[in-house]
A and B are shown apart, each in its own frame.
Chain A
């Protein structure tokens, strides 16, 4: 039972919550701070069991505000660090998504979505946090988010999330939901040497020459605490040297770079999965746990002679503008099916050259394939 190997190569039969934590550890995560919340608590449980065995730290904080603050602190000390939560906790974490963006501190947040608003449906699914993930903290910043559709992807995308966080020095979200997180299926963990991991850029110049927010880089090297650089970091708008620069030139020098480091790498970051789109006349845009019934519906539609194709948003953020626009130029209409009352339909509409329709659920369940099939039928007539 107790296993101190960081990568548990082999086949397993586990929950999504366990898979995502194993993916994180395989990616090099050695710090977890969190607060228990349904339906993400099994991630914390796995972290508390596994991290002490692989030389990491698990701490249960007094709330989600403190959890993400501790994650950022650990990251400044050099750890690959994460937390996991659900909607109510994600709301409390918004403050520190802003701080992580401002201090350019790599970290990963797994959000196991449940029905909202407020306490909502603690044990039932939702995709209602998609916009909050992107826009929830105040001010301008960019994040990256992955939306896993299977237990295997909980593992795989945890690794992608850490790699993106470390590459761009940003907070990265894994937008899971109750269905995927608590579903138990086969998980294949590859051999350690096949897992590609990234560590943030760190400075190789002497302390006197080091600028913690050197704007000649898109992603400046990050000095770690206690390594002699004597750096200063502040959540205030700051200069290249890291000092408060709370004025218009300071803001105009800093914030556009924080945004550009993602926008200019959008093509590299964005991922989608396309199925049967080559000859499609109607497009289904979908993500996360709804991809399963979505794919069933597309296959059923084909049997009826409806030329449907599916575009799955692997990275809801940054939004896959080009693939969606390309699809919209080809099909007569797009249907966006999601377990919310209309969130990702907005960026789709913004990019689409064709009519966009929405099929939504308020949360608590995913679609039956027939519901999506009926939606596709309606869209083509």
Chain B
């Protein structure tokens, strides 16, 4: 057995911009775990690190791009998917990952999400869902459960939340997974699989937001929310996606798993097929 050695660099530092730390996230935030799983998955991916690119939008999750030591673009609110679309089309050899939160990806950016899933563009979507707009102070968004309290739903949320795995699958995403930030091993593996999938690979990462969401919704601290994930998580890869909406009420389940993993021709494959004949006919 090797003797323990003391080093001044954490083995994970190779993919982190260490000089940028400490990060801006609150104590108890799940983004650290999500970032770690992304980094760990990149380390073991077949794609060289110089060919990995991350694109993010605005919000707490958007700051991930500033901490990962790869080519990284921190774009506008809700628009990382279309930015990534242009980049991926011009540089298909890049492994392009969009790292985004619920306000960014599916509330302001919802239109881009559904259309890019429909196109089946070869992107990896790491979607951190913490059920609220964290950076602006805890307002409700498109994944905030019905009746949940936020700073703009003082009487409870009047609206219904998106069930994201159902939406992604309905739009045609060939890979759809959901894990919580407690499931670090499964999450890392799902991200690895997302890299491999040729097409729109969607991974929902259920994350605690003790400051923005938790304390207004009977989770006194970060541990409470993580405890709820542990007690409520039900692994069911074959779940009926119509039934996997999240209430964030104690006692209600959070269904997790790799729900969809099917082959469906990507945008690139479909395009090449149609263009091949045209190019053959050229003078």
Contacts and interface: CB of A to CB of B under 8 A. Distances in A.
B278 A2 contact: yes
* Residue among B70, B75, B81, B275 with max Cβ neighbours from chain A (10 Å): B75
Interface string B262-280: 0000000000000100110
A96 B283 CA distance: 39
B89 A63 contact: no
A74 B86 contact: yes
Contact of B20 (A53, A73, A243): A243
B71 interface: yes
Contacts of B44: none
Given A57-B90, A61-B82, A62-B112, A244 B66 contact: yes
A28 to B, nearest CB: 13
Given A52-B278, A70-B82, A76-B73, A232 B90 contact: no
A244 B75 CA distance: 12
Given A2-B282, A4-B283, A229-B71, A77 B86 contact: yes
Interface in B234-283: 275, 278-279, 281-283
Interface string A70-100: 1111111111010000000000000110110
B226 to A, nearest CB: 29
B90 A77 contact: yes
Contacts of A33: 82, 85-86
Interface residues of A, number: 47
Contact of B69 (A61, A227, A230): A230
Interface in B85-114: 85-91, 93-94, 111-112
Nearest to A231: B71
B182 interface: no
B72 interface: yes
Given A66-B85, A72-B86, A73-B86, A228 B72 contact: no
Interface in B11-61: 17, 20, 50-51, 53, 55
B68 to A, nearest CB: 9
A69 B91 contact: no
B74 interface: yes
Contact of B87 (A61, A74, A229, A232): A74
Given A33-B86, A230-B71, A77 B91 contact: yes
A95 B84 CA distance: 16
Q: How large is the interface on B (under 10, 10 to 19, 20 to 34, 35 or more residues)?
A: 35 or more
Nearest to A79: B90
Interface of A: 2-4, 30-31, 33, 52-53, 57, 59, 61-63, 65-67, 69-79, 81, 95-96, 98-99, 103, 225-236, 243-244
A73 B93 contact: no
A83 to B, nearest CB: 10
Contact of A234 (B65, B81, B90, B112): B65
Contact of B86 (A31, A103, A226, A243): A31
A78 B111 CA distance: 26
Given A230-B69, A232-B65, A70 B20 contact: no
Contacts of A53: 278-279, 282
Nearest to A52: B275
B227 interface: no
A265 B75 CA distance: 28
25 contacts: A3-B283, A31-B86, A33-B85, A53-B278, A57-B90, A59-B89, A65-B82, A66-B115, A70-B82, A70-B86, A71-B86, A72-B83, A73-B84, A74-B86, A74-B87, A74-B90, A76-B73, A77-B90, A78-B91, A226-B51, A230-B71, A232-B17, A232-B65, A234-B74, A243-B20
Nearest to B108: A65
B282 A95 contact: no
A31 B278 contact: no
Nearest to A74: B86
A69 B76 contact: yes
B79 interface: yes
Given A2-B278, A31-B89, A226-B91, A62 B111 contact: yes
A225 B91 contact: yes
A-B pairs with lowest CB-CB distance, top 8: A73-B86, A70-B86, A66-B82, A74-B86, A234-B74, A69-B82, A73-B87, A77-B90
A234 B77 CA distance: 12
Nearest to A65: B79
A198 B27 CA distance: 49
Contacts of A243: 17, 20, 66
A2 B279 CA distance: 9
Contacts of A31: 86, 89-90
A199 B91 CA distance: 18
A52 B271 CA distance: 10
Interface string B106-149: 00000110010000000000000000000000000000000000
Nearest to B80: A69
B234 to A, nearest CB: 35
A67 B89 CA distance: 13
Contacts of B90: 30-31, 57, 73-74, 77-79, 81
A95 B81 CA distance: 15
A131 B12 CA distance: 50
B50 A70 contact: no
B171 to A, nearest CB: 12
Given A52-B278, A73-B82, A66 B74 contact: no
Contacts of B72: 230-233
Given A72-B83, A75-B86, A77-B86, A95 B76 contact: yes
* Residue among B53, B87, B111 with max Cβ neighbours from chain A (10 Å): B87
A235 B76 contact: yes
* Residue among B71, B93, B275, B278 with max Cβ neighbours from chain A (10 Å): B71
Nearest to B91: A77
A66 B71 contact: no
Given A73-B86, A225-B53, A226-B94, 17 more contacts: A52-B279, A61-B82, A61-B85, A65-B79, A73-B82, A73-B83, A75-B86, A76-B86, A96-B79, A99-B76, A103-B73, A225-B73, A226-B51, A229-B71, A232-B66, A232-B74, A235-B74
